[in-house]
Amino acid sequence: EGKLFGGHILPGFIADETQRVFVGSSGIPALREAQNFIRVVLRYARNNGIAFDAATRAVDFGSGWGRYTRFMLKYIHPNNLYGLEVNAPMVEHCRKSFGMANFIKVESLPPCDLRDNLVDLVFGYSVFSHLAPHCADAWIEEFARIMRPGGLLLMTTQGRSFIDYCRNIRESGNRSHPWYISLSKAFADTEQAYRDYDAGQFLHYGEGQYGGTYGESLIPRGYVEKAWLKDFELVDFVDDRA
């Protein structure tokens, strides 16, 4: 559970092994990865008119054990910070650890329990890199509903080079981790995958997880421009792992 310090709750941590199950690392390396992403979020938010004042509201989509949400406590009032998460035990962990009830259990597909035009900022790390096309499209529509005009949506997905990454896993024979076993099957026709990506197609490989909504996904700029700009305008698209 969280600890009281200077009148504020400092969020606690789950066990290292559970951290690794969710994000692939734990402790300081996991927090450094989170810190790097939050720096990107803050830069884009400030450059696009997010004030970070007493009224600013933000959503951590796929909040997990709260490693990104904890960084945002410096910039967003706890009452205005929300976590949306499909895993019920992680929602309960965060509610206890953060001492706040704004962590909300959601299903794989929307809707969520937030009202229309509520939030200014929605961010998510390594969530859209797994969502199936129909699931990703549905959440984009849901974000348009809950966000105020002028709000900013910022999500990561896998880049074009992930196609080669899967091929390298396949050719290496490395099956030391369940994720590698899945990756060895993903985008098996490498050249066709590159052609589809460059043509603006949403690439997804899944094995039925979470009712067919989860797997490995690559979302090119062409798909964003074709499918997601009914309610949004595209501020930037960055394919750079750094």
Residue 8 has pLDDT above 90, yes or no: no
Q: Are the C-beta atoms of residues 152 and 64 closer than 8 Å to each other?
A: no
Q: CA 36 from chain center: how many Å?
A: 14
- Count Cβ atoms within 10 A of the Cβ of residue 87 and give its class: 0-12 exposed, 13-18 middle, 19 or more buried: middle
Which tens digits make up the pLDDT trace of 136-153?
Answer: 999 999 999 999 999 999
CA distance 154 to 31: 19
Which tens digits make up the pLDDT trace of 106-122?
Answer: 999 999 999 999 999 99
Which tens digits make up the pLDDT trace of 53-94?
Answer: 999 999 999 999 999 999 999 999 999 999 999 999 999 999
Say what the pTM is: 0.93
Q: Give the whole-number percent of the chain exceeding pLDDT 90.
A: 83
Which tens digits make up the pLDDT trace of 189-231?
Answer: 999 999 999 999 999 999 999 999 999 999 999 999 999 999 9
Q: Give me the pLDDT at residue 47, please.
A: 97
Which tens digits make up the pLDDT trace of 170-190?
Answer: 999 999 888 899 999 999 999
